[in-house]
Amino acid sequence: MAQDKLKLIPLGGLGEFGMNCMVLRWQDDIIVIDAGLMFPEEELLGVDIVVPDISYLTENRDKVRGILLTHGHEDHIGGLPWILSELNVPVYGTEFTLAYVEGKLEEHELLDDADLIEMVPGERIILGPFSVVPIRVTHSLVDCVALAIHTPVGVVLHTGDFKVDLSPPDNKPFDLHAFAELGKQGVLALLQDSTNVDRRGYTPSEKAVRPRLDEIFAQTKQKLFFSCFSSSIHRIRLAMELAHEHGRKVAVIGRSLDNSTEIAQDLGYLDPPPGLVINPGQIKDTPAHKLLVMISGTQGEPMSALSRAAVNNHKHAHIEAGDTVLLSSRVIPGNEKSIYRMIDHLERRDAEVIYDDGASGLIHVSGHGSQEELRLMINLVRPKFFIPVHGDYRHLKRHIELAVGMGVVEKTILLEDGDILEMGRDSAVKTGKVPVERVCIDSGGASTDVVEDLVIKDRRHLSEDGIILPIIAIDKRTGRVENAPEIVVRGMAIAEDGLISEAKQVVQKTLDVSSAEEKADYGVIKEKIRSDLKRYIQKNTSRRPLIMPVILEI
């Protein structure tokens, strides 16, 4: 009978923010919703990104029919290069989402082999036993969809990231009617975005930031530097409209912003009047009060254009006393230090910095629905089973409480990464787990490598306790030690004359009690030195540095 059950298996995004990836399986057919990445916590030293563990998919590679993308944010598409290099399957997304994906795959030299298929809201896609209808939703990015997946046991509705905006700047509103129709037909399971479950009320429309931004444009006497997320096309469009109204030329600086504005113009989401946008090289020839510089780096990323401009290290963007810098974005948790450090540099330049300006009007609105929008969606579709997605454990738990309090859902299920949920027409039961390790990627240098847990453990060890290198010169033929041992210490604050001289004696003693045969066998003598020195250091300092004996062959 288990063959007649629909399996839902989250590989990422349930229990953390980012790395969204959900698997649906019916017998021998699998579809995947989203393929995101996550930026690492501080303890993952030297790791650039974290992507989902797709070993379940690679083990069932012949069954995977495709990857369906809800929208183009990094936490939904960022893992694609890694996944497609292991598993080349068709990728479905809206026009704008695929434009982002193309750039990403081109960067990783995967575009030529990729099979990218455009999906249009309202138009059905058949993938084996799954019939998928994308439904237009609004978010902080354009061209976003929820997915209504018709399966042999009922409809599974995955909201993707959404808020209910009925008057968005691109005049493509949230499709309430389609969700209401689904509700009438009956929905087996609703998988709903939990990001803003802590926020009461409704999330304001994207248009709500216009009055405060208009005021800032009117009050700014010199250059205005405007920074927002490069994917916030609505915000970029609004800034360009205000620049035109206030008689300012627009220069775009920063690779991510450049790419986004180019894609948005190609696809008709941005249509600046002729002559409004100038080259960065023309900044110096434009009067300060006639200039808007759109610049990337809202999160204080070390090599971003705004971070470099803040320390006067950018070719075109020079921030001077009296200029205004507007950060039209939220502070992503974990980025506080780098953002406030950058703001300090800007303040040193006597620039006026406007950020998180809630007191005197909105300069940023969220792209995620607050509590009332989450309730509205549950009421519209009235699902039999409710499963919160996209959030830390506390968000998922709070979301369950919200759904239970409404009294319209038959059963709520809290899933975490790796859980297997088996659903029939009237049942939903957790039946086990698939392995989901976090896959850490180090993309520094020419190659992109997976960083093993052992490497991260070594990096942490080095950062906390330092390293000791005992250096000994030994004649391989005779086993004779040619001179007194040297000791190099890095990352440990210890007195040169005390501990180090005693450590040298410990090494010398080990050498003295070792036979010529042992000394000629480098593997044996290295291990003996390491073991004796480790015991001595631990006893005298309570620290456990990495000890790596170096034998110089004479």
Residues flagged as binding site for Zn(2+): 71, 73, 75-76, 139, 161, 390
Spatial contact of 347 and 327, defined as CB atoms under 8 Å apart: no
| Contact indicator for 102, 113 with CB cutoff of 8 Å | no
3-class DSSP state of 291: strand
CB atoms within 10 A of CB 43: 10
Q: How crowded is residue 262: how many other Cβ atoms within 10 Å of its Cβ?
A: 14
> 234 an active-site residue?
no
**Per the residue annotation, which of 158, 314, 345, 368 is the catalytic one?**
368
Given 53, 193, 417, 532, the catalytic residue: 193
User: Which of 69, 72, 92 lies closest to 21, judged by CA?
Assistant: 69
168 and 373 Cβ atoms separated by less than 8 Å: no
Q: Can you read off the two tokens belonging to residue 13?
A: 């995004």
Q: Would residue 246 show up in a list of annotated catalytic residues for this protein?
A: no
E strand map for 27-168: 29-33, 49-51, 64-68, 91-93, 116-118, 125-127, 130-137, 144-151, 154-158
Exposed e or buried b for every residue in 88-110, given b needs 16+ CB within 10 A? Answer: ebebbbbebbbbbbebbbeeeeb
Q: Mark the binding-site residues for substrate, compressed into ranges.
A: 364-368
3-class secondary structure, 326: strand
Specify binding-site residues: 46, 48, 71, 73, 75-76, 139, 161, 364-368, 390, 442
165 vs 376: CA distance, rounded Å: 12
| 350 contact partners, CB below 8 Å, separation of at least 6 | 320, 321, 322
CA dist 65 and 522 (Å) reads: 54
Name residue 144's beta-bridge partners.
137
| Residue list for the binding site for Ca(2+) | 46, 48, 442
User: What strands, in cross-sheet order, belong to the sheet with 189-193?
Assistant: 125-127, 130-137, 144-151, 154-158, 189-193, 385-389, 411-412
- The three-state secondary structure class of 67 is strand
Neighbour order of strands in the sheet with 91-93:
116-118, 91-93, 64-68, 29-33, 21-26, 6-12, 419-423, 428-433
CB atoms within 10 A of CB 434: 18
* CB neighbour burial string for 313-324, b if at least 16 within 10 angstroms, e if fewer: ebebbebeeebb
**Residues designated catalytic:** 193, 368
